[in-house]
Amino acid sequence: MQFNKRSLITLGVLALIVIASYYFFTRKGITYIWHWEKIPEMLFYHGSKSAEDAVPRLRMGVLMMGFILTLKISVASIFFAIIIGTIVGICRLSKEPVTKGLAMAYVELIRNTPLLVQIYIIYFFVGSMLRLSAFTAGTAALAIFAGAYVGEIVRAGIQSIHKGQMEASRSLGMTYAKAMRHIILPQAFKRIIPPLAGQFISLVKDSSLVSVIALADLMFQGQQAVARTYYAFEIYFTVAALYLVMTFALSMATQYIERRLAISD
């Protein structure tokens, strides 16, 4: 890819359209006084928190606290989604009808109902039976949801590996489990990194739905801050940017892993 005259013209035209439309719409639309200066203190501020904790020092603002919680939920649910997905993916390929049937039922049930409904069910129904915290319930709901998709991705990955690989492994005396672990899964995972990355990026964004069970994630903190200050535009732009930081980092990380694993190609 090389920039040339044509790419410059394209960029120029696009910039003109954006600038023109901004002036066009703001001229006839609302007058809004931007308060971007209020945003930094929602990320970090220097000061004391309360009477008990009065020592002035650098502290995290509400949006940064939300960012950290969203990060924790995302990492935890990605971790469990990989485990669930791998198990489900292998079970889907089982010749044993009950194992295969259960895995299929799980995938269909979870994929075909809305995540928001699942979060409510897991938090209010399962959560109150098992006394789960909102964090555990939220993480569980996200992991179970993503696990169904990851399961199908893993299944497709395993099926894409030439059957000669399994035959060669078994002919050397490896059990099915050893062949899976040492030969099939490592090759399958390498192949499914791109669709997995897409799935995990979706998961990070879907994690904003856990704000409905009063988990103080990035989305929840943003909504609260808007309710308090009415700086809706600035705060939602900032929230979006913070989600972008996470998802973009995830994109970069998977591309790095992909390049690393490409050595044997």
Kindly state the smallest distance separating residue 23's Cβ from another protein, in Å.
56
Binding segment (CB under 8 A) for another protein, from list 36-44, 77-85, 100-108, 182-190: 182-190
Residue written as tokens 């050595």?
A: 263
The type of residue at 264 is S
Do 217 and 70 contact (CB within 8 A), yes or no? yes
Contact with another protein (CB under 8 A) among 75, 174, 193, 212: 174
**Does 186 interact with another protein (rule: CB under 8 A)?**
yes
Cite the DSSP H helix spans in 93-175. Answer: 97-111, 115-120, 127-130, 134-160, 163-171
Binding segment (CB under 8 A) for another protein, from list 9-17, 68-76, 79-87, 167-175: 167-175
> Distance between CA 153 and CA 192 in Å, rounded?
7
In the window 97-116, what residues touch another protein (CB under 8 A)? none
Do 246 and 71 contact (CB within 8 A), yes or no? yes
**Does 96 interact with another protein (rule: CB under 8 A)?**
no
**Does 168 interact with another protein (rule: CB under 8 A)?**
yes
Binding segment (CB under 8 A) for another protein, from list 14-22, 63-71, 147-155, 166-174: 166-174
Retrieve residue 96's tokens: 């044993």
**Does 49 interact with another protein (rule: CB under 8 A)?**
no
Q: Which helix (H) or strand (E) holds 45?
A: strand 44-47
Q: Which residue number, 143 or 180, has a Cβ lying nearer to another protein?
A: 180
* Nearest CA-CA partner of 159 in 188, 199, 195, 190: 188
**Does 165 interact with another protein (rule: CB under 8 A)?**
yes
The footprint of another protein (CB under 8 A) covers 162, 164-165, 167-175, 178, 182-183, 186-187, 190, 263-265
